[in-house]
Amino acid sequence: MSDIPNGGRRQVAPRQTMESPKQVTLQFLDDTWERLLNSLERLEQVSEGYRNLTATRLDQHPDRDRITESELDVRWEVHLQIKSLERIIKPVIEDAEWMIADFLRWFGGRARRPLAVTDEYAVPVLHCVMDHPYELPDLDEVVPTERDILDAAEALGRGLHESDKIEERFLADSGLEATRHLHTRAHSRSSGLVRLSELNRKLAVHLAYLIDHPQPAKEEPR
C-alpha cells in the first residue's frame, strides 16, 4: 500500500503528547470515527449510487456534493481512515464501546440492499473498534503523482493545525468533554446485527451477547 494519500484530501492521525488530557484523545477519536464513516458513505455513493448521509460534519472533500473520485480512490481513503482509527483508539479502547452500537445503527441503514463492496468493511471496522486483528480487502497498487504528493503535504499541514487547535481548546477549559456524534440510519442495532450475520455470523452472535450483557463502566482520570 502506498504511504502517500492519493488525492490530498485524506486526514492524518492527529498528534498526541504525554501531557494531553484524555478528553483530547477522545475528541480525536470522535473526529476520526466521523471521517471513517464519511469515507464509507462516499464509497456507497460511487459504488452503488446509494446516498444516505449521516457523517458530513467534517467533510472537506471538494467533490462532496457530486463525487468525481473513482471507486478505487475512495476505497483507498477507507483503508487509510481505518488505519488512523486503529492508532487513535488504542489508548482509549475502553471508552470506545459506544462506537459498536453506533456502527450497527449506521450499518443497519444498508438493510435490504444487495451485498456490495461497502459491506466488505463491516468486519474490519468492528474488529478495529474492538482492538482485534483485522484484514482489509486487497487493492491494486496506486502510484501517486507529483500533484498527489503536493496535495498530501498540504493536507498534512491542515490536519496538524486542526489537531493543535483541538488540543488548545481542551487545555484552556479543563471541564470540556469530548463529543460523541451518532450516525443513526436504523432505529435499532438489531438490523445491523442481521446484516452483519450475513457476513460473519460468529461476530454478530458475539456482539449480540455483549449488547445483552454490558460490562460496568470503569471510572478513569481525565
Altogether, the residues listed in the chain come to a count of 222
List the domain boundaries for the chain. Answer: 22-212
Model pTM score: 0.82
pLDDT in tens, the chain (222 residues): 333 333 334 444 454 443 458 999 999 999 999 999 999 999 999 999 999 999 999 998 999 999 999 999 899 889 989 998 999 999 999 999 999 999 999 999 999 999 999 999 999 999 999 999 999 998 876 555 666 555 555 554 555 557 778 888 888 888 899 999 999 999 999 999 999 999 999 999 999 998 887 776 555 444
- The angle subtended at Cα 114 by Cα 113 and Cα 116, nearest 5°, is 110
Q: Tell me the CA distances in angstroms from 26 to 103, 109, 159, 177, one per residue in order.
A: 17, 26, 16, 9
Q: What are phi and psi of 52, to 5 degrees?
A: -145, 85
